[in-house]
Amino acid sequence: MAGAAGVGAVGAVGAGSLGGAAWASDAADGAGSGAGRGPGLAGLADTVFAALKRHRLVAIGEVHGLQEHYDALASVLTDPRLPGLVDDVVFEGGNSLYQAVADRFVSGLPVARSELRPLWRNSTNSPLATGDEPIYEDLFRVVRAVNWRLPAQRQVRLLLGDAPIDWPKITTADQVLALRNERDAFAASLVRREVLDKERKALICYGAAHVTHHAGTTRPPGTPSGVVSLIEEQTGQRVFSLVTLVPLAGDPGGLAARLSPYPRGVVIPTTGTWLGAFDAGDVFPAFAPGASGQPVNTNCGVPLGKLTDGGLYLGRAEDLTMSRPDPAIYLDPAYWAELQRRNDLQGGVVDLDVLRTEQSVHFMPQPVPPPLLCS
Instruction: Answer whether 176's CB lies under 8 Å from 218's CB.
Output: no
pLDDT tens-place string over residues 210-219 = 999 986 654 5
Q: CA torsion angle for 34, 40, 42, 46 (degrees, to 10)? A: 170
Is the predicted pLDDT of residue 29 greater than 80, yes or no?
no
Q: Which letter does DSSP use for residue 293 in this model?
A: S
Kind of pairing between the strands at 266-269 and 310-313: antiparallel
Residue 2 has a pLDDT of 33
Contact between 179 and 165 (Cβ < 8 Å)? yes
3-state secondary structure of 139: helix
Residues 258 and 35: their CA atoms lie apart, in Å, by 9
The pLDDT value given to residue 40: 61
Please check the confidence at residue 306 and state whether its pLDDT lies above 60.
Answer: yes
Contact 325, 132 (CB under 8 A): yes
User: How large is the average pLDDT for residues 88-116?
Assistant: 97
Question: Which pLDDT belongs to residue 224?
Answer: 57
Query: Using the 8-state DSSP alphabet, how is residue 217 labeled?
Result: S
Least confident of 17-26, 259-268, 347-356: 17-26
Among candidate residues 363, 335, 334, the one with its CA nearest the CA of residue 130: 335
pLDDT for 345 beyond 90:
yes
Residues 283/26/20/48 CA torsion (nearest 10 deg): -60
Helix (H, G, I), strand (E, B) or coil at 61: strand
Q: What is the mean pLDDT of the chain?
A: 89
Average pLDDT in the 41-48 region?
95
pLDDT at 170: 98
pLDDT tens for each residue of 229-242:
999 999 999 999 99
Burial of 231 (0-12, 13-18, 19+ CB in 10 A): buried
**What's the Cα-to-Cα distance from 351 to each of 128, 177, 200, 354, rounded to whole Å?**
9, 19, 42, 6
Residue 21 has pLDDT above 50, yes or no: no
**194-208, 222-236, 259-273: least confident range:** 222-236
Q: How far apart are CA 230 and CA 183, in angstroms?
A: 11
**Residues belonging to the chain:** 375
Is 143 in contact with 156 (CB distance < 8 Å)? Answer: yes
**Residue 215 dihedral angles phi and psi, to the nearest 5°:** -75, -5
Cα gap 263→282, rounded to integer Å: 22
CA distances from 120 to 177, 328, 352, 367 (A): 18, 17, 18, 27
Nearest to 3 by CA among 149, 141, 107: 141
Structural domains of the chain, ranges and CATH numbers in brackets? 2-372 (3.40.50.11550)
Q: Tell me, what's the pLDDT at 296?
A: 92
Can you give the pLDDT at residue 223? 52
- The pLDDT value recorded for residue 292 is 84
Which residue type does 73 have? L
Q: Long-range CB contacts (< 8 A, 24+ apart) of 116-121?
A: 116/140, 119/94, 119/95, 119/160, 120/93, 120/94, 120/95, 121/335
Please tell me the least confidently modeled range out of 96-110, 212-226, 239-253: 212-226
**In 3D, which of 137, 76, 146 has the Cα closest to residue 107?**
146
- State the pLDDT confidence band at 375, using cuts at 50, 70 and 90: confident
Residue 36 has pLDDT above 90, yes or no: no
Query: What's the whole-model pTM score?
Result: 0.88
Regarding predicted confidence, which is higher, 248 or 13?
Answer: 248
pLDDT of 12: 34
Rounded to an integer, what is the distance from CA 158 to the centroid of its chain?
Answer: 14
Residue 265 has pLDDT above 50, yes or no: yes
Residue 17 has pLDDT above 60, yes or no: no
> What confidence score (pLDDT) does residue 291 get?
82
Distance between CA 12 and CA 210 in Å, rounded? 27
Model confidence pLDDT, tens digit, residues 169-200: 999 999 999 999 999 999 999 999 999 999 99
